[in-house]
Amino acid sequence: MHTHILFEHPLNEKMRTWLRVEFLLQQLSVHLPLSDHADALHFFRNVGELLDVFERGDTRTELLKELERQQRKLRAWSEVPGVDLNRIDAIRQQLKESGAVLMTAPRIGQLLREDRLIALVRQRLSIPGGCCSFDLPTLHMWLHLPQEQRNAQIELWMASLEPLRATLSLILDLIRNAAPFRRQTSLNGFYQDNGEDADLLRLQLPLKERLYPQISGHKSRFAIRFMPFDSENGLVPERLDFELACC
């Protein structure tokens, strides 16, 4: 059993979007291969939410900008004496290759957006119980097709998201590893600090405390208030040690 819980909190809009996209991409593959109605609805609901996120902004442009920003940071790092230049060159090459694939890939989500079955299910998802077999005979029919036929269809859909997934995974990995965890102490359940242009806060809390963080702020300044999971009877210690990374 885990003795600590990791909480992550975005400090700007792009990071908020990227964490949501990462979460939805992870959810897509949880119940594969799809073998029943419940698994299929879980999959299609996440596809629909992913398309909603893509329609709110230009995810590809933001990711390409971030690849360039990470390249600049690595160029600066390469000037530092004693740094592992081979490691930096390898990461820079990864960033370059990822950017090239993302640039030439079709518009993110286009294949999913144009798929008739996804469109039909997406229309019904906002209606309570709207995906019954009599509401969506097409889905009912699809679920009775041979498993390998459905698997091939899903592999095609997932492959269309791969340039996005690979780039996002690389970027988030670099951001998460940009700063080490440091021991901090909150007094009476409160802690604040300067963000120093951070994109992401990562907190590790002991599970035994039964506390969770409420975080407000942005890249230059943030505040954390620790709240008891049991709002009626839970207590917040006068001093609480926790691990914090400003990435």
The runs of H, that is alpha helices, within 78-183 are: 85-104, 110-113, 116-124, 137-142, 147-176
Residue 76 pLDDT more than 90? no
Q: Sorting pLDDT into bands at 50, 70 and 90, what band is 7?
A: very high
Average pLDDT, the chain: 93
Residues 180-190 have pLDDT tens digits of 999 999 999 99
What pLDDT sits at residue 127? 92
What pLDDT sits at residue 2? 66
How many Å apart are CA 184 and CA 189, to the nearest integer?
12
What pLDDT sits at residue 1? 58
How many Å apart are CA 35 and CA 151, to the nearest integer?
10
How many Cα atoms are found within 13 Å in the side-chain-facing hemisphere of 180?
2
Task: Tell me how far the alpha carbon of residue 28 is from its chain's centroid.
Answer: 12
Please tell me if the domain spanning 31-177 has the same topology as the one spanning 182-246. Answer: no
Q: 225 with 232: CB under 8 angstroms?
A: no
Residues in the chain: 247
CATH of the domain spanning 31-177? 1.10.3900.10
To which CATH superfamily is domain 182-246 assigned? YacF-like domains (2.60.440.10)
What pLDDT sits at residue 217? 86
**Can you give the residue ranges of every domain in the chain?**
31-177, 182-246
In DSSP terms, 187 is beta-bridged to 190, 239
Residue 235 pLDDT more than 70? yes
Burial 156-178 (b: 16+ CB within 10 A, else e): ebeebbebbbebbebbbebbeee
Residue 178 pLDDT more than 80? yes
What pLDDT sits at residue 35? 86
Q: Sorting pLDDT into bands at 50, 70 and 90, what band is 164?
A: very high
Q: Sorting pLDDT into bands at 50, 70 and 90, what band is 231?
A: confident
Residues 78-87 have pLDDT tens digits of 888 888 888 9
Of 85 and 42, the structure prediction assigns the larger pLDDT to: 42
Residue 65 pLDDT more than 80? yes
Token pair belonging to 42:
């879980």
